[in-house]
Amino acid sequence: VQLQASGGGLVQAGGSLRLSCAASGRTFGNLNMGWFRQAPGKEREFVAAISRTGGRHYYSDSVKGRFTISRDNAKNTVYLQMNSLIPDDTAVYYCAAANRPYTLLVDTTEEAYNYWGQGTQVTVSS
């Protein structure tokens, strides 16, 4: 699976960005998708995940209520809508995929994902 993330950039606190991640190489409808992020000097952390059908979502406490994950299986793309951004959201954001053709559950741990995109930088200024 090849994953191509885009949509990062520089935004002021309180602003919004939408990240996109286009997937290729496998049946997208069989892939659980997730977003993770890594801030400078910190370990990579879970942000949000969506099941292969789009029916289930899960968010970290730090982004719940501000970020929304969604997917368009016809376009082989997963999105992360980020609103009310704060400086602590500054990080490189990675999309990830896990081949899960037989589950309706989401994956929330790094270990569950075996395909990773290259990352896109999000910088939130105060």
CA distance 28 to 121: 24
Give me the pLDDT at residue 97, please.
97
Q: Are 29 and 52 in contact (CB under 8 A)?
A: yes
Give me the pLDDT at residue 125, please.
97
Give me the pLDDT at residue 107, please.
93
Give me the pLDDT at residue 118, please.
93
| 3-class secondary structure per residue, the chain | CEEEEECCEEEECCCCEEEEEEEECCCHHHEEEEEEEECCCCCCEEEEEECCCCCCEEECCCCCCCEEEEEECCCCEEEEEECCCCHHHCEEEEEEEEECCCCCCCCCCHHHCCEECCCEEEEEEC
Give me the pLDDT at residue 104, please.
87
Give me the pLDDT at residue 103, please.
87
Give me the pLDDT at residue 112, please.
95
pLDDT per 10-residue tile (average), the chain, 126 residues: 96 98 93 97 97 95 98 97 98 96 92 95 97
